[in-house]
Each structure stands twice: as structure tokens, then as C-alpha cells.
A and B are shown apart, each in its own frame.
Chain A
Amino acid sequence: RKEVEQDPGPFNVPEGATVAFNCTYSNSASQSFFWYRQDCRKEPKLLMSVYSSGNEDGRFTAQLNRASQYISLLIRDSKLSDSATYLCVVNLNAGGTSYGKLTFGQGTILTVHP
């Protein structure tokens, strides 16, 4: 089983649609979780951090279910500019200042069309 698993998609949705991505992780000791957005041939950029049960930022909502070991990202009212690859990232960090290894999912491709 992969450490972080995402549905690669692609997801093709019309503008204005609501779309949700799921991500599962295998290590129950994982402490923090992130969604990054990566545009074609660009670097990943932080979209949201998730430390507790969830986080909301405008049209974007991330939820964490530790019991089932999955994280979700919900995008409401999709825009053309939301088209990108969304990376689920898990940090296995026991706290303190020690390095916490980030493990990346392979990404979910989203295309929003007119």
C-alpha cells in the first residue's frame, strides 16, 4: 500500500461545480497534513494546512478524519483558474524541532471547463 494515495483523476468539471478529492495515508502516527496546488510545469504552492479536524478558506474546505486516515479537499463554485494538479502531503512529525518527513501523493488532476 502506498504511504499517501490519491485518485489521479483527471476530474473534468464545469465552471461553478463542486468537486471533492480524497486522499488516504497509511501511517497513523502522521501529525499534519497539507494540500498543495501545482500548475503545469511549475512548483507546488501551499493551498491549505490541516492540523485538526478541518480548515476552510473561502471556496476551499479541507477535512481530516484520523480514525479512517483520510483527508479530503472540497472546492466549491469551481473557476477556470482552479485547473491544476492537487497534491496531498502528509507530515510524519513527532513534534519538537526534529525534521518531519513529508510524503507526497502523486496528485489529482483537475480541469475546469467553461
Chain B
Amino acid sequence: DGGITQSPKYLFRKEGQNVTLSCEQNLNHDAMYWYRQDPGQGLRLIYYSQIVNDFQKGDIAEGYSVSREKKESFPLTVTSAQKNPTAFYLCASSILAGVKETQYFGPGTRLLVL
């Protein structure tokens, strides 16, 4: 089955701890994205990557880091510098297709602070 997987489904973070969220896709998509969703708000872009070994900051990158060592994988680390990390984190991927680019989402990871 082709698709986007995210793990874990739920993640608990202690204060001062870094945690890493996994995102894998087997769709052979070029681009991958991380979003954060808070209740009653639209999705906000954290980081994106169009090609292996390259990534760009989105609108709310502070307190987060990413890597793109393989086309299929785009892990997100929530660092201790992110003071309000509780949210629903969504990974997406797309083929770079200009105006017809469409993003598809993984099932998400809920991060909760203990």
C-alpha cells in the first residue's frame, strides 16, 4: 500500500526533553512538509523540503528541527526551546507539479506535554 505513515500516534514529552516525530512516505513524492494544528486554528507550516539534503523554514520553525537524508523520510524534532509544543502534528508530501501540486497528509501525531 502506498501512503504516508507517521509514528507514534501519541507522544508525551517531559519538560526540557527533545522528542522526534517520524514521517515516512513510499509515494516517491519529491516534497515533504510538517504542519502543526491547534484547536480552532488552521494548519501552520513548520518546515518543508523539496529535495534530499535541503529544507526550508516555514512560518513557525522556532523550536523545531528537521532533516532530509532520504527521499522517503522527513523526521521532525521538537526541541526543549519550543515552549508550547502540545498540538496535532501533520506530515504531508507532494509531487512538485506547479499550480497542480496537491499535498497528501499522514495520520498525524498528537504531542502532549507532561
Using a CB–CB distance below 8 Å, which chain A residues touch chain B?
A: 4, 8, 31-32, 34, 41-46, 49, 51, 87, 91, 93, 95-107
Contact flags B28-42 to A (C-beta < 8 A → 1, else 0) = 000100000000111
* Given A99-B31, A106-B42, A43 and B99 contact (CB-CB distance below 8 Å): no
B-side interface size class: 20 to 34
Number of A-B residue pairs having CB atoms within 8 Å of each other in the complex: 62
Q: How long is the Cα–Cα vector from A102 to B105 in the complex, in angstroms? A: 13
Query: When A and B form their complex, which 4 residue pairs have the shortest distance between CB atoms, in order from nearest?
Result: A104-B42, A43-B105, A104-B43, A31-B99
Listed residue (A4, A96, A104) with the most chain B CB atoms within 10 angstroms of its CB = A104
Residues in B neighbouring A107, C-beta threshold 8 A:
42
Q: A43-B105, A100-B98 are in contact. List 12 more A-B contacts (CB 8 A).
A: A43-B107, A44-B90, A44-B105, A51-B100, A87-B43, A98-B96, A99-B48, A100-B101, A102-B103, A103-B42, A104-B43, A106-B42
